[in-house]
A = this chain, B = another copy of it.
Amino acid sequence: MAFGIAEATESAKARLSPDRLFPAEASTRSVARSLYQAVSKLPIVSPHGHTDPRWYAENDPFPDPARLFIVPDHYVFRLLHSQGIDLSDLGVPRADDGWTETDSRTIWHLFAENYHLFRATPSRLWLEHAFEEVFGWTRRLCAENADEAYDHIAACLAKPQFRPRALFERFNIEVIATTESPLDDLCWHRAIRESDWNGKVVTAYRPDNVVDPDFEGFTQNVEKLGELAGEDTLGWQGYLNAHRQRRAFFKSLGATSTDHGHPSAHTENLSAAEADGLFQRALKGTCTPADAERFRGHMLTEMARMSLDDDLVLQIHPGSFRNHSSPVLNAYGRDKGFDIPKQTTYVDALKPLLDAVGEEKNLGIILFTLDETAYSRELAPLAGVYPALKLGPAWWFHDSPEGMLRFREMTTETAGFHNTVGFNDDTRAFCSIPARHDVARRVDCAYLASLVTSGRLDEDEAYEVAIDLAYRLAKQAYRL
């Protein structure tokens, strides 16, 4: 991906190897390189992520380098913290009244001094791709050049060609999805639509805060849902109707999917009376942890039934123990790098859902996991037989070269390529988007090349599959 670096910076020798992430063996590398050339410039389809629609609506400049690359990126600050650096020294906002650093240059220096900690991590790949390809800065960051890097990037950010819409276009993003709650008024999405800008930004329906009885403020959230939808959401049918209405509203602003971040993959298929009973206890705050689990599980089946009507694709992101450290949660709030994967099983958990809708060939359910042991044992066998099921790509901690390779090696033989859905960047770090797609494309081309040189795939087919994985499958699976 060449972004007209010369425009952004003085000419400089590239640091990024053009053959990075390709196999070392010459014949395989050669095939990988050719496959990559066929996909490297394809438009980016980003069907699931967490960028802020306000960026595209307002098109204001991004702030300084520290607030772009460090303060909001839990991948970055968690690894620095793991080596004893206080989150407050990294400018991470606090939930209590404690001090946090506000000088961006100071934060940047701390980052630069500890840049060696990122060796061999995907964050390093993403950062260096952004430094070089987005900003044209090609030295390896360290304490000595921290100011130079800071000044260079800050100067870029002040220019119009580094505003969100310009970068969106430079990144060749064909479509990007954001993620909003049913309680969101989608004002920024409406503003984008009403603007004269043609970038395609769509929302996705993420109802955890009105579906999970354990979510903070659940009952008030359900009440607010009722107000927004004009339904009595304190009754079971009104609650379901409110979902239907908000889904329709989201769909009117481009949504093609829903998304569900549950502690487990547990599903249920309850009678209306049972579901209503759980719902009433949830509203009163009297449901047990097991009740909450069953209610969330049943709502996945309800959501799948709604998807049969409105065609929204249903994504399940299970298995994260959120906010593992109580002291950090109290001091800094949610989403501070302390979300830890748990063992997750799918076979028993999904049976109620799959008995209800698994054979529906027009339904799309996309399963994710943070437990790689499920790839070959449960997920590939399930996706390899149920028409409604597909596998989301390697997720979160596993969205890395080794993680993506393990995903392919452990799912393809049983599920094939067509039960997978291409790549998700799943990020709020806008400048990492081209890097993340580039890493995925390179790893997939490396994998395909190894199939070719070991006689498992014809080379002409490998080109087709490379394009499927980089572009077509995401469009198809997410109906974009």
Contact = CB atoms under 8 A, between A and B. Distances in A.
Interface in A414-432: 414-419
A414 B385 contact: no
Contacts of A93: none
A387 B455 contact: no
A324 interface: yes
A454 B22 contact: yes
A54 interface: no
A342 B378 contact: yes
Interface residues of A, number: 92
Contacts of A25: 24-25
Contacts of A326: 355
Contacts of A78: 384-385
26 contacts: A19-B455, A20-B455, A20-B456, A23-B454, A24-B454, A78-B384, A81-B387, A82-B383, A82-B386, A83-B419, A119-B465, A120-B416, A120-B417, A121-B414, A121-B416, A324-B354, A337-B384, A337-B385, A339-B381, A340-B378, A341-B377, A342-B345, A342-B348, A342-B378, A372-B377, A403-B413
Contacts of A166: none
Contacts of A83: 387, 418-419
A131 to B, nearest CB: 14
A385 to B, nearest CB: 4
A321 B347 contact: yes
A328 interface: yes
Contacts of A384: 78-79, 82, 337
A242 interface: no
A382 B337 CA distance: 10
B376 A397 contact: yes
Interface of A: 16-17, 19-25, 27-28, 78-79, 81-84, 116-122, 124-125, 140, 321, 324-328, 337-343, 345, 347-348, 351, 354-355, 358-359, 361, 370-373, 376-378, 380-387, 389, 397-398, 400-403, 409-410, 412-419, 450-451, 453-458, 461, 464-465
